[in-house]
Structure 1
């Protein structure tokens, strides 16, 4: 089981008892406003089952980690990445935080810890992150971690009837915040 620590957080492997929190995040329309229309419970459960399995970098699967308060053990959210191109040592990052945890710096703190671990343990060369252009909070998280805007894809994806522009951010391992 993977465990990472920051001053305020414990970041650990997803486990079976995390199902209710995983489901709540994936069903919350406000949290998913810039990500997707919430999927059916069966689809979310399949995603959970896959992500709760033992993870390996070479699998290309998402490493999904639970973010908890070090002080209270309270569930804060999820963070992680998946290897897009193993031979190119490139990984896509992602995070979802419970609404009660927004605006407290947890996404930045946890993402920074994951990036540091991946650079040291897995020799990831480049991290990429995507967010809807209107998702200012997510863009700020990446920028605080040192990501740079590399491009904007116009009307890149659709949520319901709404086409959204998507921003692509990149961070080279050598440029990461320390």
Structure 2
């Protein structure tokens, strides 16, 4: 990893403000949000295993430790709207050797269908591109998750014709995995 990437891969570089949202690194005060998301079967249906409370608490502590690493390889960010925690987004599977980044997002039910996911995702993508200008940004989503498919299409991403789980975004007139 070169020095520029090491300097960019710091949690404090990912405090993002949009017209309605503050996106900031996960903190100890976000435990309930984390539990509400990762222990909810409906939320986790397309994400992965629904966690029991104790396992979710342990996962949360791991997330906090990952956020504290510099440079990070995985970063968890809290999405806040008017002082209320709305969800999480993340930079996953950071690979400095291949310059690949995967992003993801999860919102609590009250924030669904109001454009918050698109706003947060667009802001995260923009910041990743600013910090890691050569990064390949990708997303892996279940094609049965119609809301996620609609979100990525709405925000300008295009499906990979060879892999139904991968989406691409236009970046500098080239398709880049999202």
TM-score under structure 2 length normalisation: 0.80
Residues of 2 paired with 1:101 and 1:150: CA distance? 28
Residues of 2 paired with 1:152 and 1:31: CA distance? 27
Aligned partner of residue 87 in structure 1, secondary structure? coil
1:167 match:
165
Corresponding residue to 1:96 among 106, 123, 136: 106
Q: Which has the higher strand share?
A: 1
Question: Is the Cα contact below 8 Å between 1:23 and 1:44 reproduced in 2?
Answer: yes
Corresponding residue to 1:65 among 37, 60, 77: 77
Quote the offset at 1:9 in angstroms.
Answer: 0.5
Alignment gaps of 5+ in structure 2: 1-11
Alignment gaps of 5+ in structure 1: 154-165
Corresponding residue to 1:87 among 97, 102, 115: 97
Root-mean-square deviation (Å): 2.2
TM-score under structure 1 length normalisation: 0.80
Residues of 1 paired with 2:94 and 2:50: CA distance? 24
Residues of 2 paired with 1:135 and 1:29: CA distance? 14
Q: Which deviates further from its counterpart, 77-86 or 126-135?
A: 77-86
Aligned partner of residue 127 in structure 1, secondary structure? strand
Quote the offset at 1:11 in angstroms.
Answer: 0.5
